[in-house]
Amino acid sequence: MKQKRIRLFSIVLLLALSGLSGRLMQLQLFQTESYSKHKINLLEESVAQRTQALVIDEGRGEFLDRNGEPLTYTEKNVLVLFPFLKQLDWPVDKVAEILHVPQETIRTKVEEAKGPIVFGGKEPLRLSEEQMKEINSLEIQGVFALTKKYKSDEVPASQLIGVTGENTDVFHERYPDKVKGANQKIGVSGLQESFDEWLVAEEEAKLIYHVDARGGPLFGVDVKYLAPANPFYPLNVKTTIDRRMQEALEEVADTYNIQKGGLLLLDIEKSEILASVSRPAMKSRDPFSGGAGNLMLKALIPGSVFKTVVAAAAMDEGLVDERRLFPCDEDIRGEAAEKPHGNINIKTSIAVSCNRTFADLAKELTEKDDHLLDEYAEKVGLIGDIAWKGNVFHYESFPQLQVSEGRIFASDGDRAEPKLVAQTGIGQQEVRVTPLGIANMMATIARGGEKFQVSAVSSVQYQNGTNMFSFPRQKVEGETITPFTAMKLQQYLRGVVNSPEGTAPYLQNAAYTIAGKTGTAQTGNYRGERVKANELYNKWFAGYFPFEDPKYALVAVNMDVTIGEGGIYPIFKDSVDAVYRLDHE
């Protein structure tokens, strides 16, 4: 009986030891870098418990403007001090003399330090190259003058670039074969999300030293510099953004206090985004509290800007020429128009933005083929695959931008209702298109009907500036409007600005000659009491310039404003003038 108990106890003990051994093997051999469902890196965590470190560069790739200048970070020459200095007798007087600050200020910062610090804190004292050389030549252990990378508080084109966040579960779901620390950042919106796979950090660059349980140096005062071993990584994304133009248009948006809306500027020849301004502005410290969404890529009510599509379709389909007259003393219901214009042709109808003309043409087009308006919206580059999409490495159809899908009708049933078709013809009812699409439409017309996908990124680059992959200009597949129709539209859009009856004579004084189209879209919303004076509109102007030799397409929209506020013409003119000044500096 006794032997039986001893044998049983031995078996239990053996099983317990086997389980403990298995657990130790799991922790120390098999899952050291990917423990549990949370993929915890035990090696990194153990090191973190016995070290203090100052991160110099978190290792994630960055975004550059079209000239290769950083958009998302700045580099500062700073002084780094380690807390073990308080235990040493070191030449603080020499450092203070180089920095031109009192010795006591430096001593106080070191005494207060619980870990390695940047002298000056959130507003670090910036060192000159000469000061850096002098400090480092002193060779004081625990005192370093170095260049540290800082995230920019204000990122140009912030909604286009997007934001990052920390989510270990999402990281491992996205990249199951990669083992990273718990604080690994991933892109959650904009280009940060689209290009996340190329931007994820390989390794941080940091200064590190080992500490005991009380925070004192464990192996003396030896500080190590750890940095990625591969000089080509992390990769950077070179955007098409022109930083100067971006900042100039952001200033215009703020000058006119655009609360909701924005501006989008395209390079017509290259079909690239030069500037993208979306308001409300994104808060850098709390981006998702409001303003994180990019309205330039969202489908909005365009109003009369859509008449450009109706005119293109009607001319291409042979329904109208300049001899045909429309009764523009009447509105789309056949009642007296609020602004009567008499019997006028298509050219003048675009200039004065006559609703009756385009309501009638929309009905005729739909009777001929109830999908013609959709087809011509694609032919002019307003809807469809307008943003860059193509084969990139293992992606068969990689999209640079996440653009809302535009629409002309909400349902097929609407196409059979003449009243709804009439409203559609003037850009109301269920028409929803993006500012990007509208700018692309203007660029397409300016090019004589040629359609190209719009890009926001020109290349992915190695750290040394050489290209890993370039994004070539790509034509949009499918039919286009005829060159003759494009030429006529160019003349008509110019008439909006320079003809006596045009809706935008204010723009005649712009630094560049402009062709374009006005839009005032009813939103169905009110500010307060539901009376006419409180009705809210989206105010648009979209066009291209200079008219004689088109270089830029620009769209401006001021959303949810009353009829008496938020004038769009000064916004558009000041934007054009800003581009002109930058072109001629």
- Whether pLDDT at 42 is above 50: no
Q: What is the CATH classification number for the domain harbouring 456?
A: 3.40.710.10
289 is catalytic: no
Among 11-20, 107-116, 526-535, 573-582, name the one with the lowest average pLDDT: 11-20
Residue-wise pLDDT tens digits, 151-160: 888 899 999 9
Residue holding tokens 């709804």? 420
What residues have CB less than 8 Å from 318, skipping those under 6 apart?
Answer: none
Angle between helices 372-379 and 307-316 (to 10 degrees): 100
179 lies in which domain range?
52-239
Domain presence at residue 486? yes
What is the pLDDT confidence band of residue 44, given thresholds at 50, 70 and 90?
very low
Specify the pLDDT at position 84. Answer: 86
Q: How confident is the model at residue 18 (pLDDT cuts 50, 70, 90)?
A: low
151 and 257 in a single domain? The answer is no
The per-residue pLDDT for 211 is 66
Whether residues 273 and 309 fall in one domain: yes
Both 69 and 172 in one domain: the answer is yes
Instruction: Judge whether residue 382 has pLDDT over 50.
Output: yes
pTM above 0.85, yes or no: yes
Clarify whether residues 442 and 323 are in a common domain.
yes
Pairing state between β 535-545 and 326-327: unpaired
For 184, residues 6+ apart whose C-beta sits below 8 A from its C-beta are: 166, 168, 171, 200, 201
Q: Which H, E and C letters describe 270-327, residue by residue? A: CCEEEEEEEECCCCCCCHHHCCCCCHHHCCECCHHHHHHHHHHHHHHCCCCCCCCCEE
Q: What is the mean pLDDT of residues 112-132?
A: 91
User: Rounded distance, CA 438 to CA 299, Å?
Assistant: 10
CATH code of 83's domain = 3.90.1310
Q: 264 by DSSP, 3-state: which? A: strand
Assign 3-class secondary structure to 143-210: EEEEEEEEECCCCCCHHHHCCEEECHHHHHHHCCCCCCCCCCEEECCHHHHHCHHHHCCCCCEEEEEE
Count of the separate structural domains present in the chain: 2
Q: Per residue in 453-495, pLDDT tens?
A: 999 999 999 988 899 999 999 999 899 999 999 999 999 999 9
Same domain, 116 and 257: no
Closest by CA to 459, choosing from 271, 195, 234, is: 195
What is the pLDDT averaged over residues 138-161? 91
Rounded to whole angstroms, how far apart are CA atoms 440 and 454? 7
- Are 171 and 263 in a shared domain? no
- Asked if 514 and 410 sit in the same domain, the reply is yes
The 8-class DSSP code of residue 58 comes to -
Please give the span between the terminal C-alpha atoms of the chain, in angstroms, as a whole number.
Answer: 102
Residue with tokens 């002309």: 408
In single-letter form, the type of residue at position 330 comes to E
Nearest C-alpha neighbor of 378 from the set 453, 271, 448: 453
Average pLDDT score, the chain: 89
Residue of 304, 349, 353, 455 marked active site: 304
Is 425 in the same domain as 508?
Answer: yes
Q: Are residues 309 and 356 in the same domain?
A: yes
Select from 561, 557, 568, 558 the least CA-distant residue to 534. 561
Both 191 and 266 in one domain: the answer is no
